[in-house]
Amino acid sequence: MSMAANQQIETLIPDLKRYARSLTRTEDDANDLVQDCVERAIRKWHLYKPGTNLRSWLFTMMRNVFISQKRREAVSMRYMQQAVHDENTAARPSQVHSVFLKETVAAMDGLSEQERAAVHMLGMEERSHHEAAEETHLPVGTMKSRLSRGRANLRTSMQMGEGDLS
């Protein structure tokens, strides 16, 4: 990333802060959002097309970061509520869970190395298709195919239905 690119982003920080405040409604959260957005812009600078509107690109990125954070917070809140509920009704894991876990590990070991890597990165680590494709230096479509085949093979080996491994 060039110094000119840094300066372009730096000149837009006041605009980004105003937009972040309108999204978050608090100063601290707005500052965190701006920082996350600028950090992502630096990491993803190679995706920016010179000559296009940088301000729009950054605002879109900020909106996407904000939405992703809110989704993660909602999932985390549901998880915490469920954990509190489960704490009151918790029982030791049954033998069924232990057997299922062992069967799942065995089924994962039965996948090809490429399918296992795709299921792990995309299904377990919850990376995006683009992140996984970048890391493996493969096309996004290849990662999607490997994930699809891996899930199908897991369903078959574990004798599960279509919606069980989405």
Could you tell me how far CA 125 lies from the centroid of its own chain? 8
125 vs 162, more confident: 125
The helix (H) or strand (E) run that includes residue 44 is none
**Domains parsed from the chain with CATH numbers:** 3-88 (1.10.1740.10), 95-165 (1.10.10.10)
98 vs 60, more confident: 60
pLDDT range class, residue 62, cuts 50, 70, 90: very high
Q: Is the pLDDT of residue 164 over 60?
A: no
By the 8 A CB rule, do 121 and 135 touch?
A: yes
Q: Where are the alpha helices (DSSP H) in 44-118?
A: 54-88, 95-109, 113-118
Minimum mean pLDDT among 33-47, 48-62, 71-85: which range? 71-85
